[in-house]
């Protein structure tokens, strides 16, 4: 039986438990065998894509004979400790981002990042950081949600642009609509200049993938916008993504992360692994669009997708 765990008492208890106490990493080596609890709490970070993934995880686990409930906790500072403590059993995560999060938690905010464009290296680092905390990182699938850069379709056609390399060799001057942090982050303006030779004349601080930022590119005020690879609204603004052909962005493949002592069993891994062979970045973008633009419920979209793929 699956239900939404939105009750205030449940959330309050979880948040209270997250704010105090040492992490598992600080209690010695985790030696408990993988657990197989038959009732699992699935965490969502509260945005559309995370909700969709949590719903798909719940449906797949339901089919495998588990009872599930979904708990929405809006930020990683809260849900990650809850995952360590076993108050949450499963969460959808992003490989490179989560690796860097755990690395900063262990080694400090100024620690060099361990996430990279290399998926194998990123997964190795992530699993090494997760295991001492009692967490198991399951295999990644095909879907990835990472930084992406879009231009107006007319601009791309005019200048024959399909890749970021094309833009770099064009010599065009580019004003980039993005968050203000883009000025310094190595995977944003500095990386575009260093890796692709793109002439970034300035960063217009309109946010990451916001309507305001997209309209600035649509109108020609800016030439490119920072968004994500699963952005479902680009067509609405007449924008197209330029391919990251030199792999500037980190390997933010979607991975399930589980509490080992409660959900580390082969049964859970097998149930969630069924998604890996079918779910693509394009599929996620389409589902995001159905929720954000068509106002469909995440559970309905998730169920329809899994049924269409023969997984339910």
Q: Specify the 3-state DSSP secondary structure of 290.
A: helix
Classify residue 83 as exposed, middle or buried by CB count within 10 Å of its CB (0-12, 13-18, 19+): buried
- d(CA 280, CA 145) in angstroms, rounded, equals 10
- d(CA 213, CA 108) in angstroms, rounded, equals 32
Residue 31 is predicted with a pLDDT of 57
What Cα–Cα distance (Å) separates residue 165 from each residue in 67, 87, 147, 175?
Answer: 48, 46, 16, 16
Residue 28 is predicted with a pLDDT of 44
**Bridge pairing between strands 199-205 and 90-94:** unpaired
Residue 232 is predicted with a pLDDT of 86
- For the chain, which residues score pLDDT lower than 70? 1-32
Residue 292 is predicted with a pLDDT of 87
For 213-248, how does the pLDDT look when each residue is reduced to its tens digit (9 = 90+)? 999 999 999 999 999 999 989 999 999 999 999 999
Backbone angles phi, psi at 242, to 5 degrees: -100, 130
Residue 190 is predicted with a pLDDT of 95
What Cα–Cα distance (Å) separates residue 88 from each residue in 20, 52, 74, 289?
Answer: 16, 17, 13, 28
Q: Which residue has the tokens 């260093």?
A: 194
> What are the structure tokens assigned to 101, written together?
């999060």
Half-sphere exposure of 12 (CA within 13 A, CB side): 3
Q: Please tell me the pTM assigned to this model.
A: 0.84
Residue 20 is predicted with a pLDDT of 40
Classify residue 238 as exposed, middle or buried by CB count within 10 Å of its CB (0-12, 13-18, 19+): middle
Q: Tell whether the torsion through CA atoms of 33, 38, 39 and 40 is positive or negative.
A: positive
Domains and CATH numbers, the chain: 2-144+251-308 (3.40.190.10), 147-242 (3.40.190.120)
SS3 sequence of 99-166: HHHHHHHHHCCCCCCCCCCCHHHHHHHHHHHHHHHCEEECCCCCCECCEEEEEEHHHHHHHCCCEHHH
Backbone angles phi, psi at 189, to 5 degrees: -55, -50
Distance, C-alpha 242 to centroid of its chain: 20
The answer for residues whose C-beta is within 8 angstroms of residue 234's C-beta and 6 or more apart is 150, 214, 227, 240, 241
Q: Which residues pair with 33 in a beta bridge?
A: none
> What are the structure tokens assigned to 70, written together?
């979904």
Are 46 and 291 within 8 A, CB to CB?
no
> What are the structure tokens assigned to 277, written together?
């062979």
Residue 16 is predicted with a pLDDT of 52
- d(CA 78, CA 19) in angstroms, rounded, equals 8
- d(CA 53, CA 97) in angstroms, rounded, equals 17
Are 227 and 159 within 8 A, CB to CB?
no
Q: Tell whether the torsion through CA atoms of 145, 146, 152 and 153 is positive or negative.
A: negative
């Amino acid at each position: 039986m699956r239900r939404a765990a939105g009750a205030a008492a449940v959330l309050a208890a979880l948040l209270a438990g997250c704010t105090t106490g040492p992490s598992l990493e600080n209690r010695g080596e985790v030696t408990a065998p993988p657990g197989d609890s038959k009732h699992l709490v699935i965490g969502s970070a509260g945005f559309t894509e995370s909700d969709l993934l949590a719903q798909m995880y719940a449906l797949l686990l339901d089919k495998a004979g588990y009872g599930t409930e979904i708990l929405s906790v809006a930020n990683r500072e809260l849900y990650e400790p809850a995952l360590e403590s076993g108050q949450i059993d499963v969460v959808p995560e992003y490989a490179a981002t989560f690796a860097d999060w755990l690395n900063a938690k262990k080694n400090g905010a100024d620690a060099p990042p361990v996430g990279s464009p290399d998926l194998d290296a990123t997964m190795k680092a992530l699993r090494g950081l997760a295991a001492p905390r009692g967490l198991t990182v399951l295999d990644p699938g095909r879907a990835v949600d990472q930084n992406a850069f879009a231009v107006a379709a007319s601009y791309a056609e005019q200048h024959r642009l399909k890749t970021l390399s094309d833009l770099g060799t064009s010599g065009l001057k580019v004003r980039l609509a993005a968050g203000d942090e883009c000025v310094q982050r190595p995977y944003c303006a500095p990386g575009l200049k260093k890796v692709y030779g793109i002439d970034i004349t300035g960063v217009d601080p309109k946010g990451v993938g916001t309507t305001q930022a997209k309209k600035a590119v649509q109108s020609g005020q800016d030439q490119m916008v920072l968004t994500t690879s699963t952005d479902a609204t680009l067509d609405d603004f007449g924008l197209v993504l330029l391919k990251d052909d030199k792999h500037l962005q980190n390997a933010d493949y979607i991975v399930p992360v589980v509490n080992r002592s409660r959900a580390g069993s082969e049964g859970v891994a097998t149930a969630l692994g069924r998604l890996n062979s079918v779910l693509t970045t394009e599929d996620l973008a389409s589902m995001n669009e159905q929720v954000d633009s068509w106002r469909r419920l995440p559970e309905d979209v998730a169920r329809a997708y899994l049924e269409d793929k023969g997984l339910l």
